[in-house]
Structures are given as structure tokens and as C-alpha cells.
């Protein structure tokens, strides 16, 4: 230690003396400036010679070897490393030990949540592995320069923009089944790119490490410094990682929002489709539960999906029932009120009749659902002005299934027409209607005589 320090000190002194000798005493010789120039020239010449020497491989190797084998080398190495550490590297030290980037963590979390990153599903891993292998095969051994880094970033960006374009082309026409496929696509691209990224990062890191190890034979580069360098490289590459993850997240979000939009966007069916569906519903009113085949047929006729047909019938059934129920409840309440009034008013309880008439007493007459339906929309109320008024009073609040013909041009009025036209049979059954065995099951629950009817009403108290 002492020896070295002294040695270095001496070297320094010698160098200083030299310089002083050469430049510190300018007043010697005839033309000092000329002499100085020449001396500078000499020095430069020496430096150039040294540079040339170092380029000579055989010689350099020889020198390196000599240096390496020098008995003082390890000690010198450690001292120089120490000095370097204290001066240059201390600045970098302060920047280390950063907490993990919160944004990156967020991205990671989201990717895992969306199933893009994390535990692999399906064959994505093998594809990514293949891609990685392919990339490694084609990758030359050279170091990844700054330009390559940028190129890779641009490449990743481009890939994601093309992906985004693909989604934009599809517009709102994203089908339910497409979503999974597209997500899988994103996942695959992500994993492929992530593999490439890791590959590139590792290659570069390895290269740098090798380089530094090699140089550590001639330069004071401690293993610690190499580690630090690796850390720096990783940090630099993290920008690519971030970009990749961000792009992926973006793609997923866009895909998702598009999908949800498409899901949420409600487009009315065509008039014709609605007509066909209503026809079926009304002609199977006693049992409006189309079989799978019937649904397919309707779907084909209406140019909609089977599940849309199912939705339609589900909505239709429940809303039909609901509105019948509502109207009936109103009527019942009105009847109760008027009855109470009549009871109180001993003399003139005319209205009670009207309400009672409206009371859709279908079950009392033993009719099935179709019969009740007829009562709702039929003409038999016109026998009394009171009852008509009652009907008018009640029906507009029953939202839709009115005989008013102002709105719902295709709904009930059609049915009424159909029924009127087939005066003999209340229900226009097709010959192939095999659902008769279950006739009435749908409407029975609406029968006031049926306890289930009151359940229905109670379940929907708000009118």
C-alpha cells in the first residue's frame, strides 16, 4: 500500500517536474513559442505512438498479460477501484435503491388482471418461446447500439398501432365471441414482444458484462461496478418494457371499451323482425315459449341471433304479464275504492259495476289466457259508458298495451285485428303448433283466482 502510494506520488511528481521543466520556464531559448510548439508536437507524437501500440493486438496482449501477472496488480487494482468508487461512482450511488416504479406496477397489475401477463393460459407461452428462439437465432452477436434500441422501440410501437388499427376497422361490430380471440391475440403479441425484449436486454447486458470483465483486466473495474452497470442497463431497458406494457394496456382497454360499447349499444330490430316476433308471440300466446328450432327459425327470419330471440321472448313475456298485471291491479284498486264509496254512499254506486266489468274475470268464465287477453282488448266494455271511461282511465297508465292505437302500432292492435278476423277461434294457432299440451300455463299465473297472480302484483308494488 505504502509502496504504491509512494510510487504514484513519485510518478505524479515526475510528471509535474517534467511539465514544469518544459512549460514552467518559458524564458529559455531564442524563440520560446517555437520551442513550445515543438515540444507539444513531441508529446503528441508520443501519444500517437502509444495509441498505435495499443492497436497492435499481439503486443497489447503481451502487455496485458505482463500487467496481469505483475505481482502488484491485485493491490493496485483494488486501490484504483476504491478511488474510483469514492470519486465517480459515489454520484451514482445516491440514485440507486429506488423503489419500483409505481406506474410500472400498475401496468403489471392490470396486465395480470386482464390475463395478458402472469400465468400463461393456453399456447401463448410456446408461441412466445418460439418467437424468442427465432429472434435469438437471427440476432447477430454485435452489441445493441442506441440506434437498435430506438429501432426496437419503434418496432414495438408500430406493431401496436397496426393492432389498434385492426380493432378500429372492426368498429362497433365486435361480436361477443371475438373478444376472447382478440384478447388472446393481444396476449400472444405481448408475450412475443416481451420475449424479444427480454432477449435483447439480456444480450446487451451480457455483452456489456463481458466487455467490462475483459476490460477489468486492464482497467480498474470492480465487480460491483459491473453490477451497477447492469442495473443501469436494466433501467434503460425498462423504458422499452414500460412502453410495451403501456401499449398493451391501451390495446386491452380499447378492445374492452369497444366490446362493451357494442354490447351496450341497443339497436332496435327492424319493423319486419318485430312483426314476425310479435306474430309468433301472439299466435302462441297461451304458451309463448318457442322451442330451440322455432327460435332458430325466427332468428333466421328476423336476421337476428337465437339469443336475441330468447331475449326478446324473455322481455316480451315478462312485460306482457307485468302490464296485464298492472292494469288489473289498477282496476282492482279502483273497484275496491268505488266499492267502498258505494258502501258508504248507500244510494248511487253505479261505478262499481264498471269496475267489476273491467275486472277481467276471465278465470271465472273458465277461459284460458287467450280469453283473458280478449277481455283486455275486446269490445265487450263498450256496453257501458262507465266501463269505457274506467278503461280509458286505467289503460294509459299501463304503458303500452292499450287499445289506443296512438302508439305501439304493431303490438296489441294487430292482435286484436287478428283475433277479430278469426272471430270463431280466439287464438290463431298454426297447424304445426304442438305446444298445446301446455296451453294456458303462461297466462294462468295472471289469473286473479290463481294465488300466483297476487304474488306477481306484490312483487312489483310500484305502479
From the list 110-118, 133-141, 304-312, 337-345, the region that binds DNA by CB under 7 A is 304-312
Q: Please, are residues 39 and 22 in contact by the beta-carbon 8 Å criterion?
A: yes
The C-alpha atoms of residue 228 and residue 243 are separated, in whole angstroms, by 23
Of these, 407, 420, 422, 430, which contacts DNA (CB under 7 A)?
Answer: 407
- Give me the least distance between CB of 353 and DNA, in Å please: 29
280 binds DNA (CB under 7 A): no
Nearer to DNA, 197 or 312 (CB): 312
Of these, 400, 418, 428, 433, which contacts DNA (CB under 7 A)?
Answer: 400
Q: Is 262 exposed, middle or buried (0-12, 13-18, 19+ CB in 10 A)?
A: middle
125 binds DNA (CB under 7 A): no
The C-alpha atoms of residue 70 and residue 76 are separated, in whole angstroms, by 10
The C-alpha atoms of residue 412 and residue 424 are separated, in whole angstroms, by 19
Of these, 37, 166, 319, 350, which contacts DNA (CB under 7 A)?
Answer: 319
246 binds DNA (CB under 7 A): no
- Give me the least distance between CB of 139 and DNA, in Å please: 45
Q: Please, are residues 381 and 391 in contact by the beta-carbon 8 Å criterion?
A: yes
Window 160-219: residues binding DNA (CB under 7 A): 176
From the list 56-64, 93-101, 191-199, 302-310, the region that binds DNA by CB under 7 A is 302-310
The C-alpha atoms of residue 194 and residue 310 are separated, in whole angstroms, by 43
In angstroms, how far is the first alpha carbon of the chain from the final one?
98
The C-alpha atoms of residue 155 and residue 170 are separated, in whole angstroms, by 23
66 grid coordinates: 505482463
Nearer to DNA, 223 or 396 (CB): 396
Window 9-28: residues binding DNA (CB under 7 A): none
Phi, psi of 15 (to 5 degrees): -60, -45
- Give me the least distance between CB of 370 and DNA, in Å please: 17
The C-alpha atoms of residue 386 and residue 369 are separated, in whole angstroms, by 25
- Give me the least distance between CB of 131 and DNA, in Å please: 34
405 binds DNA (CB under 7 A): no
Q: Please, are residues 453 and 445 in contact by the beta-carbon 8 Å criterion?
A: yes
263 binds DNA (CB under 7 A): yes
Q: Which helix or strand (DSSP H or E) is residue 194 part of? A: helix 176-215
Residue with cell 300466446: 285
Nearer to DNA, 77 or 401 (CB): 401
Of these, 13, 95, 311, 389, which contacts DNA (CB under 7 A)?
Answer: 311
From the list 212-220, 263-271, 326-334, 366-374, the region that binds DNA by CB under 7 A is 263-271
289 binds DNA (CB under 7 A): yes
- What is the DSSP secondary structure assignment for residue 270, as one 8-state letter? P
399 binds DNA (CB under 7 A): yes
374, 375, 381, 382 alpha-carbon torsion, rounded to 10°: 0
406 binds DNA (CB under 7 A): yes
Of these, 20, 130, 460, 463, which contacts DNA (CB under 7 A)?
Answer: 460
The C-alpha atoms of residue 252 and residue 254 are separated, in whole angstroms, by 5
Of these, 317, 414, 444, 450, which contacts DNA (CB under 7 A)?
Answer: 317
Q: What residues have CB less than 8 Å from 240, skipping those under 6 apart?
A: 149, 152, 153, 156, 197, 201
The C-alpha atoms of residue 429 and residue 419 are separated, in whole angstroms, by 11
- Give me the least distance between CB of 162 and DNA, in Å please: 28
From the list 31-39, 78-86, 149-157, 307-315, the region that binds DNA by CB under 7 A is 307-315
Q: Which residues bind DNA (CB under 7 A)?
A: 176, 263-269, 274, 289, 292, 304, 307-308, 310-312, 314-315, 317-319, 321, 399-400, 406-408, 410-411, 442, 456, 459-460
Amino acid at each position: 500500500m505504502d509502496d504504491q502510494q509512494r510510487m504514484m506520488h513519485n510518478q505524479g511528481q515526475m510528471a509535474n517536474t517534467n511539465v514544469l521543466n518544459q512549460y514552467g520556464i518559458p524564458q529559455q531559448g531564442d524563440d520560446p513559442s517555437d520551442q513550445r510548439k515543438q515540444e507539444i508536437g513531441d508529446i503528441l507524437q508520443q501519444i500517437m505512438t502509444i495509441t498505435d501500440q495499443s492497436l497492435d493486438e499481439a503486443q497489447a496482449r503481451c502487455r496485458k498479460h505482463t500487467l496481469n501477472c505483475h505481482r502488484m496488480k491485485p493491490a493496485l487494482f483494488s486501490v484504483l477501484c476504491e478511488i474510483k468508487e469514492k470519486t465517480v461512482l459515489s454520484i451514482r450511488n445516491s440514485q440507486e435503491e429506488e423503489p419500483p416504479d409505481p406506474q410500472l406496477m400498475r401496468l403489471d397489475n392490470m396486465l395480470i388482471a386482464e390475463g395478458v401477463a402472469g400465468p400463461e393460459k393456453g399456447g401463448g407461452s410456446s408461441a412466445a418461446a418460439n418467437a424468442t428462439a427465432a429472434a435469438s437465432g437471427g440476432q447477430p452477436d454485435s452489441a445493441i447500439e442506441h440506434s437498435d434500441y430506438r429501432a426496437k422501440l419503434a418496432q414495438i410501437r408500430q406493431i401496436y398501432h397496426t393492432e389498434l388499427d385492426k380493432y378500429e376497422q372492426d368498429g362497433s361490430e365486435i361480436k361477443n365471441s371475438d373478444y376472447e380471440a382478440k384478447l388472446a391475440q393481444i396476449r400472444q403479441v405481448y408475450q412475443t414482444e416481451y420475449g424479444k425484449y427480454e432477449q435483447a436486454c439480456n444480450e446487451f447486458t451480457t455483452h456489456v458484462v463481458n466487455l467490462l470483465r475483459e476490460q477489468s483486466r486492464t482497467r480498474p473495474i470492480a465487480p460491483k461496478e459491473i453490477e451497477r452497470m447492469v442495473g443501469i442497463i436494466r433501467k434503460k431497458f425498462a423504458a422499452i418494457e414500460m412502453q410495451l406494457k403501456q401499449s398493451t394496456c391501451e390495446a386491452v382497454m380499447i378492445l374492452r371499451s369497444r366490446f362493451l360499447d357494442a354490447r351496450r349499444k341497443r339497436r332496435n330490430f327492424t319493423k319486419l323482425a318485430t312483426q314476425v316476433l310479435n306474430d309468433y308471440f301472439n299466435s302462441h300466446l297461451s304458451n309463448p315459449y318457442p322451442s330451440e328450432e322455432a327460435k332458430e327459425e325466427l332468428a333466421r327470419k328476423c336476421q337476428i341471433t337465437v339469443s336475441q330471440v330468447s331475449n326478446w321472448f324473455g322481455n316480451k313475456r315478462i312485460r306482457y304479464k307485468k302490464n296485464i298485471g298492472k292494469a288489473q291491479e289498477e282496476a282492482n284498486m279502483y273497484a275496491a275504492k268505488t266499492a267502498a264509496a258505494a258502501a258508504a254512499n248507500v244510494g248511487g254506486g253505479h261505478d262499481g259495476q264498471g269496475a267489476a266489468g273491467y275486472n277481467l274475470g276471465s278465470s271465472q268464465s273458465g277461459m284460458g289466457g287467450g280469453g283473458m287477453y280478449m277481455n283486455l282488448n275486446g269490445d265487450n266494455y263498450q256496453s257501458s259508458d262507465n266501463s269505457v271511461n274506467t278503461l280509458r282511465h286505467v289503460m294509459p297508465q299501463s304503458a303500452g298495451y292499450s287499445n289506443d292505437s296512438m302508439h305501439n302500432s304493431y303490438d296489441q292492435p294487430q292482435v286484436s285485428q287478428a283475433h277479430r278476423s278469426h272471430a270463431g277461434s280466439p287464438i290463431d294457432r298454426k297447424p304445426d303448433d304442438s305446444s298445446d299440451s301446455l296451453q294456458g300455463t303462461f297466462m294462468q299465473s295472471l289469473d286473479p283466482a290463481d294465488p300466483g297472480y297476487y304474488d306477481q302484483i306484490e312483487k312489483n308494488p310500484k305502479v
